[in-house]
Structure 1
Amino acid sequence: MDKCRCTYRQIVKYQNRISGPILDRIDLFVRCEEIGYEALTSNSKEESSADIRKRVSKAWEIQKERFAQSTTLFNGRMNKNEVEIYCKLDGEGQQLMKEAFSVFQLTGRSYFKILKVARTIADLEGSYDIKSRHVEEALYFRQKGEGRVKVR
């Protein structure tokens, strides 16, 4: 495969064609680094797919119980009222969101998406409460501008 010959400026200009309102509707931004041969062939102890599947299944069960009396099936589909009920933050989490709101210039839509993602992260961890570390991880997934330029 040929390497991209575009300049940094051309790449940024191309990537910026996606409007803010469209980007705001995307729940997760995951930066994927190139993996080298050594990383693929090493004997590191990563979480197995089977273990991940078990955690996801447990999180689905938690959500199934949570929304048993609702038409909502999953956290990502919660309406504003459900977010207010199921995504309560402690003082530390509220302070973190307050700071993030101004630093990252969050919109109302992205605020609610972050809370839903934090709720899901807590579910995957088996935690009833959303802790500040869950909010922090959810905020990490909203950093859409970081790393968008890298091209092979």
Structure 2
Amino acid sequence: MDLAEIFSLNGKYDLDFSDVKGQEQARRALEVAVAGGHNVLMVGPPGSGKTMLARRLPSIMPELEVEEAVEVTRIYSIAGLLPSGISLLTRRPFRKPHHTISEVGLVGGGRFPRPGEISLSHCGVLFLDELTEFRQSALEALRQPLEDGEVSVSRSLITVTFPARFILIGAMNPCPCGFRGDRSIPCQCPENLYRQYRHKVSGPILDRIDIHIPVPRLTREELLRSPGGEGSEIIRERVKRARDIQRKRFVDQRIKENSGMTQNQLRTYCKISPSGQEILAQAIDKLRISARGLDRILKVARTIADLEDAKAIELPHLAEAIQYRSWDRERP
């Protein structure tokens, strides 16, 4: 059996986006995220479908390349998690650690350094459900790996570097009771309690998450409707085309996706018209967007343009990218 057959037989997923009812905005945002390698924060009440959406993300990601599959297999072998009888992992990882996980468990470490969850998510998805319940130290430890795509674990006699290029999907309730902004259930949280809750996820972490999207509860009509949205295969084909554009754009450069662009690359590939500059200025004033947050908007806008095979970033692309910073509007 050759490699193509192995990937064809073992690289398929049981979960599909056609299973999801409603949530068109979230579905679109996740397509943009996968197309450009962007991190996502989903905010919504319990039962709105955040976990269901996240679990289906690997099904719209392009198949692992051989080099990627070898890297993932090595990581799982080092961690002692390679399934018996499997010589090559061909599915993109999906990791969902519990919120009680330690910093070492998340980032890696131990007396004999072993990869943590962020490296076990390499080339796949790291899903942090109930984001506000994770230890602050564990969340803050994500900051550098999210920037560098790798993590170094140091001990007295040795320093080991593990790859850690993954898409982070965070999920949280909008407030402690879970119903702030709900269309029918009023929020019961005092304002000071809400502010404390929001501050559990720091500004620097939020700035490293490119896309913030609300995932509201489904209406009665949406709940009763049969699933019938686009399937994962259709979405994956659009993602592949957008990634092919990026691969050609960044040929002979160190990155493959828009999410990894440097300042110089932003200036080269994300030029904005005067009218676009005006829209960005308004967004900065209204949303209190940081310099890093502005870079995220430009990267996401570039990905949206790539999904449409557009040479330049146009006003609709910018407007959609700004819309994905919705959580910035709610910052206390």
**Structure 1 vs Structure 2 CA RMSD:** 2.6
Matched, 1:7 2:181: no
> Is the contact between residue 302 and residue 317 of structure 2 (CA under 8 Å) also seen in structure 1?
yes
- 2:238 aligns with one of 46, 55, 72: 55
* Percentage identity across paired residues of the two chains: 36
**Aligned ranges 1:17-32 → 2 under 5 Å:** 17-32=200-215
**Aligned ranges 1:1-150 → 2 under 5 Å:** 4=177, 7-9=189-191, 10-36=193-219, 38-42=221-225, 46-145=229-328
The structural deviation recorded for 1:45 is 6.4
The structural deviation recorded for 1:81 is 0.2
SS in 2 for 1:62: helix
TM-score with structure 1 length normalisation?
0.83
> Is the contact between residue 76 and residue 117 of structure 1 (CA under 8 Å) also seen in structure 2?
yes
> What is the rounded CA distance, in whole Å, between the counterparts of 2:200 and 2:225 in structure 1?
39
TM-score with structure 2 length normalisation?
0.40
Aligned length: 147
> Is the contact between residue 31 and residue 147 of structure 1 (CA under 8 Å) also seen in structure 2?
no
Alignment CA distance shift 1:108-1:40 (3 Å):
same
SS in 1 for 2:289: coil
The structural deviation recorded for 1:7 is 2.4
SS in 1 for 2:322: helix
The structural deviation recorded for 1:70 is 0.8
> Is the contact between residue 287 and residue 328 of structure 2 (CA under 8 Å) also seen in structure 1?
no
Alignment CA distance shift 1:132-1:70 (3 Å):
same
More helix by share: 1
| Structure 1 unpaired stretches of 5+ | none
SS in 2 for 1:138: helix
> Is the contact between residue 29 and residue 144 of structure 1 (CA under 8 Å) also seen in structure 2?
yes
The structural deviation recorded for 1:114 is 0.7
| Structure 2 unpaired stretches of 5+ | 1-45, 47-176, 179-187
Cα deviations by residue, 1:100-139 (Å, 9 ceiling, x for unpaired): 1222222111111110010011111221111111111111
Q: Which protein has the larger Cα radius of gyration, Structure 1 or Structure 2?
A: 2
> What is the rounded CA distance, in whole Å, between the counterparts of 2:194 and 2:289 in structure 1?
24
Runs of 4+ aligned structure 1 residues displaced above 6 Å come to none
> Is the contact between residue 30 and residue 141 of structure 1 (CA under 8 Å) also seen in structure 2?
yes
Higher relative contact order (CA 8 A, sep 6+): 1
